[in-house]
Structure 1
Amino acid sequence: MDEENKLSRKTVLKAALAAGVAAPVALFGGPALARANAVGGTAPELTPACHDDDEPTMEQTEGPYFKPNSPERTNLVTPGTQGTRLTVTGYVFGRACLPVGRALLDFWQADVNGAYDNTGYTFRGHQYTDAQGAFTLSTIVPGLYPGRTRHIHVKVQAPGRPVLTTQLYFPGEPRNNTDTIFDARLLMTVRDNGSAKEAAFDFVLDVPQTPTSTRPTPTSATPPGGTSWAVGTAYAAGARVTYGGRGYVCLQAHTAQPGWEPPAVPALWRAE
């Protein structure tokens, strides 16, 4: 992609997000990733692009606490709810990086004390994506309980397609290193907003789609700076690597593992 075209795409993306509208599918081949959403009307930085044939979001165990027939709602917080307020936003994409409208998302999680409501539907609810594939969940940061790191459960289903069951995780949690179920590919991007937190995650479902536009051919030039990403290497925040001919900056310290390649884990790496 030439520099003039790249700047044009970035400018339109920022303007669309800052204005709260969807970026044109014909230009980007899909809406901007939730990780690029603006806060307080400030134009965001460009984040890793969504590409055709992205690997579908990985499945994880349902666990013992799922309950069917949750109420339809986007806000799981009620008056008097304890805990740090958390807003989770994102998109649901198909394999061609196009949005999936009316996708079902069913969330459930522990309360601030790490307990699940198994008699009622506290911190349980389902919703549907809008026409742009977007969703928003208002909840709290879940508490911890023995054996697990902090997480949110979710089932995602495109209309007429199989259900994806998985879990979402928080960066920087000490128990991420000891939880045998944890996988960095399911890390949300989380940031503070006053006394509350904002998180983002985009799901890719195994839904066949036909691209509506032609993507630019990636450049073969190797970005300057950094070394090639390698399994087993300990990376500090701010470290630069190259992977697949593209440069990335490390967002949080970690030791690289198979499956944690920079394009697969946007919570750990930002494309330059």
Structure 2
Amino acid sequence: MFDTLLMPFIFPFMQNAFWIALIVSVPTALLSCFLVLKGWALMGDAVSHATLPGIVLAYILGLPLIIGAFAAGMVTALATGYLTENSRIKQDTVLGVVFSGMFALGIVMYVAINTNVHLDHILFGNMLGVGAQDLWTAGAISVPVAAVLILKWKDFMLHAFDPAQARVSGLPVGWLHHGLLAILSLTVVSTLSATGLILAIGLLVAPGAIAFLLVRSLKHMLIVSVVVCAVSMVSGVYLSFFIDSAPAPTIILVLTALFIVAFVRKSIQTRRASAAV
């Protein structure tokens, strides 16, 4: 019985899956808190989908895929901001148009070329096929991203809650805004080998949303989101081994279940507080 429970940790491909899960859980969890507070959940979805044409173009030009993904993500984020500021269209509408157009462009480009790279691995990740190079790449992105979010969390917090007050306080609002967009693009790139483009949005929203329902301060929200994301990713990979499922969607299902539990708990607390009054 004990040997069976430890079986997932024996295989090298499972060990790499656990490592990539732990590596990407920290930056995605920290970033998800700010995306939730700023209402940028759809922005994360847009950037993750819009990296596809950049990945295909990088493959055609023989460049590292992460460069193409980051460039496409930044172009999408900046184009969305420009269109929102210079038109009467609301941001969610612009995001819907831009990311669907970029994603469609990526599909057309992918179909037009001959490649041995399977589209499913790009869209849904290939966590069980993660190698040493993928681990180093994810680590090289995740460590500086997490460091910036931890060191500047108070500045990002003020920018998320009240950009006008942040500007009056002397904070570089423009740099914070575009810096957060760059961090978002980099974080999406770091999750490519783990969850792919489509499921990355789950990691970028769910941990912060769960923590938001559980605690009241941003400091505690950051800590709780990291713990929730790390536990969910490791347990999702572990569970996928026994139910013969892909790790990425299993992780998202675990996060979804935790969100439902947190939501029900918060609803019960609210009703009790209302009844006490």
TM-score by length of 2: 0.24
Q: Higher strand share goes to which structure?
A: 1
Q: Higher helix share goes to which structure?
A: 2
- Structure with bigger RCO (C-alpha 8 Å, 6+ apart): 2
